[in-house]
Amino acid sequence: MPHATFQHKTTWWKEGIVYQVYPASFKDSNGDGIGDIPGIISKLDYIRDIGVDIIWVSPHFKSPQVDMGYDISDFEDIHEPYGTLEDCERLIRETHKRGMKIIFDLVINHTSDQHSWFLESRSSKDNPKRDWYFWRAPKFDEHGNRCRPNNWRSQFTKPAWTWDPLTEEYYLHVYASGQPDLNWENEECRRAIYESAIRFWLKRGVDGFRIDTVNKYSKVPGLPDAPITEPQEATQVAVCRYTNGPRIHEYLKEIKDILSGFDVMTVGELPNTPDSNEVLQYISARSGELNMVLNFDTVNLGQTPGNRFLPQPFDNLDFKNQLTKWQTLPAETDAWTTVFLENHDQGRSISRFASDLPAYRQSAAKMLATILATMTGTLFLYQGQEIGMVNAPESWSPDEYKCVRSVNYFRDICARSRNNSGSIEQARRNLQRVARDHARVPMQWDATHNAGFCDEDVQPWMSVLDVHREINVADQINTKGSVLSYWRSILALRKNYASLFVYGSFVAIEQERNLMSFLKIDERTGAKSLIVANLSRETLQFTHPDGFASEETQFLIGTHSNDAEPEWQQQVLAPFEARVYIQQG
Ligand code: TEU
Ligand code: CA
């Protein structure tokens, strides 16, 4: 059996459980239908009681909300509906008071087009901040028609360049036109980012950052055209032109230098980087750029690269392979890894990777919890995951979807198909599978009209799911056997056995497609754990691996048995059943 070679030092950000809060949809405290910072503060005890150690707050900074706050117009101020700077400082204090840490979202690939830097930059070609963004003169075709500087497509369907009539040039935006890309080649610009977005918050006691789209700050010099992969299209997927560019590690080392001296954590969001050598450059402890990254291998399943709404078939073998892809990294290298299935950019894990049918969704939620809570690395939960929230239903109409990515996609399909009803129906189904909106609906606190998210006579900014009557915190919080109780129990076990579950080495056991099974080994004590999980709706046989059939094997926790019922010894798993066995060293 392969054994770990690298011994990781224990640290709070390795064993801490991270809980992501999406401010707009967590809790409204003042009756405007929008979640806010006082709302978050009112739920801090709830969060702590799940077993959470670190709260990650999605952007709450001043923003016109073109992309839900990932378009920041002032790094040093708060989005007004969310509260004030004082509220934010109170959030930091109240989190710390409860023994938890708090990290913020660091969105520095771009700003809002309403940021004062951009307003200055666009004001004239000789403005001192002109070079802080990417401005380019138009090209002209043989008929003298104005053309964009290159063929890049943005992440949100449209071209990556927007024409600005004021100075008659185009500016670059990898995301929405309201999110112009900052030019990191400009040193003054970089220094301003560090001061305003990073130091400002370090001084206020934040415990680290989730760094947004951490590999896009360095573009291929000269901004050359992207390879033509869709000849019939005017723009092309250009990820290779703006991802993992030549100076990215130089920039991240500058950030690392700013953070040194603070006991803070960094987790980078690392899209479009499946190659482990490339990943290691970001997270090797020796290079020290980032503590860890969020890889996209699992959450991209079912989506086409460059066009997430185009379905791709996948099965449970793919799911197992992708989910465990980075599990052996901590044993084999000096780098640390992460475990997650949800965030604000993804549909709900139960709906995508298991089953949200009423008969299965509870078991499915607990089964996924069992896998996640026993895996190696820092564990990230997304609000609502702990109660088993599911995707919006098929009956949802396209205008329920508010996210810029969804809206642009749907409009594009309507325009291209000239409102063909078949195409529209297909687009609607694609939205129901993978739109980011599924994670952004209001948190389901109770069974009342607005799910306890906001007052009953208020219109919430996004529709509350009807299923909140069956899936909500109030019903689960004191209920034995609920999804929430299960999460609390298994997170407590994860902490109790941290050297096994958080730090232990991971060994996959080959089994049939629908059975996920792995060992965790505590290299210090020799303790071992066996995890088995049925990823399907069928009943499954499994065999205990060698050494796990003996008397010394204890049943630790399982989705279907409350205590050591005799069935646990049977080597049969009900649909979406999962169990954890342990052998003390
Ligand atoms: O997302 C980065 C990003 O590029 C993702 O959209 C990714 O391409 C996609 O999920 C792959 O499936 C971050 C934020 O998380 C997102 O909410 C923002 O819209 C985006 O950056 C721009 O700031
Ligand atoms: Ca509010």
422 contact partners, CB below 8 Å, separation of at least 6: none
- Asked whether residue 139 falls in the same domain as residue 250, the answer is no
pLDDT of 546: 82
Phi and psi at 541, nearest 5°, equal: -85, 145
Between CA 185 and CA 224 the distance in angstroms is 16
Ligand 1 atom 1 nearest Cα: 213
Residue 331 sits in the same domain as residue 377: yes
Domain assignment of residue 430, yes or no? no
Q: Are 337 and 14 in contact (CB under 8 A)?
A: no
Q: Look at residue 76 and tell me if it is in a domain.
A: yes
Q: Give the E-state strand segments of 6-123 in sequence order.
A: 18-21, 54-57, 61-62, 74-78, 101-106
Structural domains counted in the chain:
3
Nearest ligand for residue 112 CA: 1
How many A from CA of 463 to the centre of ligand 2?
15
The pair of three-digit structure tokens given for residue 518, joined into one six-digit string: 């792995």
CATH of the domain at 199: 3.20.20.80
Q: 138 and 105, same structural domain?
A: no
Is position 120 annotated as part of the catalytic site? no
How many Cβ atoms from other residues are within 10 Å of residue 168's Cβ? 11
- Please state the atom number of ligand 1 nearest to the C-alpha of residue 346: 10
- The CATH code of the domain that includes 520 is 2.60.40.1180
Do residues 516 and 578 both lie within one domain?
A: yes
Q: How far is the CA of 8 from the centre of ligand 2 (A)?
A: 42
| DSSP output for 112-181 | -TTSHHHHHHHH-TT-TTGGGB-EEPPEE-TT--EE-SS-EEPTTSSBSEEEETTTTEEEE-SS-TTSPB
**379 and 250: one domain?**
yes
Closest alpha carbon to 252 in 435, 33, 106, 382: 106
pLDDT at 562: 55
Q: 564, 392, 385, 352: which is closest to 484 by C-alpha?
A: 385
Atom of ligand 1 nearest to the CA of 405: 19
Query: 10 Å Cβ neighbour count for 43?
Result: 18
Domain assignment of residue 566, yes or no: yes
Domain annotation covers residue 436: no
Determine whether the shortest distance from the Cβ of 529 to ligand 1 is under 6 A: no
Give the per-residue pLDDT at 510. 85
Atom 18 of ligand 1, residue of closest alpha carbon: 70
pLDDT, tens digit (0-9, with 9 covering 90-100), for 421-459: 999 999 999 999 999 999 999 999 999 999 999 999 999
**Cα of 213 from ligand 1 centre, angstroms:** 7
Ligand in closest contact with the CA of 34: 2
**Assigned domain for 444 exists:** no
pLDDT of residue 355: 98
172, 210, 212, best to mutate for ligand 1 pocket (most atoms within 8 Å of CB): 212
For ligand 1, is residue 56 a contact (CB within 6 Å)?
A: no
DSSP one-letter code for 292: E
Same-domain check for residues 156 and 96: no
Which of 72, 76, 13, 73 minimizes the C-alpha distance to 259? 13
Q: Say whether both 100 and 131 belong to one domain.
A: no
State the distance between the two ends of the chain, measured CA to CA, in whole angstroms. 16
For the Cβ of 577 lying below 6 angstroms from any atom of ligand 1, the answer is: no
Quote the strand ranges of 479-576, DSSP E. Answer: 505-508, 515-521, 528-534, 540-541, 554-558, 572-573
CATH code, 167: 3.90.400.10
| Residue spans of the chain under pLDDT 50 | 1-4
Q: Is the CB of 212 under 6 A from ligand 1?
A: yes
Selected catalytic residue, list 207, 269, 342, 437: 269
Asked if residue 286 and residue 251 are part of one domain, the reply reads: yes
Tell which atom from ligand 1 comes closest to the C-alpha of 303. Answer: 12
Residue 161 lies in a domain: yes
For residue 26, give the ligand nearest its CA. Answer: 2
**Residue 294: nearest ligand to its CA?**
1
124 and 83 assigned to the same domain? no
Please give the Cα distance from 299 to 355 (Å, whole number): 16
Give me 571's structure tokens: 């080597």
Are 280 and 382 members of one domain? yes
**Helical H segments across 394-479, by residue range:** 404-416, 421-434, 473-477
Same domain for 266 and 130? no
Atom 8 (ligand 1): residue with closest C-alpha?
A: 271
How many Å apart are CA 406 and CA 157, to the nearest integer? 9
pTM beyond 0.85:
yes
Residues 301 and 165 occupy one common structural domain:
no
Q: Given the DSSP bridges, would you call strands 18-21 and 54-57 parallel, antiparallel or unpaired?
A: parallel
**Active-site residue, 164 included:** no
Q: State the Cα–Cα distance between residues 95 and 322, nearest whole angstrom.
A: 34
Report the C-alpha gap between 499 and 513 in whole angstroms: 29
Q: Which domain holds residue 340?
A: 14-109+187-392+466-476
Q: How remote is the CA of residue 290 from the centroid of ligand 1, in Å?
A: 18
Length of the chain: 585
